[in-house]
Amino acid sequence: GDSVTQMEGPVTLSEEAFLTINCTYTATGYPSLFWYVQYPGEGLQLLLKATKADDKGSNKGFEATYRKETTSFHLEKGSVQVSDSAVYFCALSDRGQGAQKLVFGQGTRLTINP
């Protein structure tokens, strides 16, 4: 079945550092890919998405490129801020019956120190 694997956390960085959170996926078809963010005490919010190979999703300084050849969708940000501290989830939605659902990775907790 479909699955998403994220890099192990937690990740701790200093403010203005470069961020990469790795995400790889397994899917039977050609999925759409998503990054969600969860701030403390809140539900998940969509951060960005990409629907086909080589698409780049971007939002709030974050970027991720859909790489079909490496089945990856790594999240990057050039200069992180304390306010970026949160849990980040990679997810996919596949075609067929899977189109009705999202499959999530285990989440990566990010802490940014001032």
Kindly list the residues in this chain that would bind other proteins in the complex (CB under 8 A): 4, 31-32, 34, 41-46, 49, 89, 93-95, 98-102, 104-107
Q: Helices (H) and strands (E) in the chain — how many of each?
A: 0, 12
What is the closest distance, in whole angstroms, from the C-beta atom of residue 14 to other proteins in the complex? 25
CA dihedral sign, ordered 14, 87, 60, 65: positive
Q: Residue 15 CB, nearest distance to other proteins (Å)?
A: 27
112, 19 Cβ separation under 8 angstroms: no
Nearer CB in complex with other proteins: 3/79: 3
Smallest distance from other proteins to CB 93, Å: 4
ω before 10 within 30° of 0 (cis)? yes
When the beta carbons of 46 and 82 are compared against other proteins, the nearer one is: 46
Tokens 């890099």 map to which residue?
Answer: 7
Nearer to other proteins, 73 or 89 (CB): 89
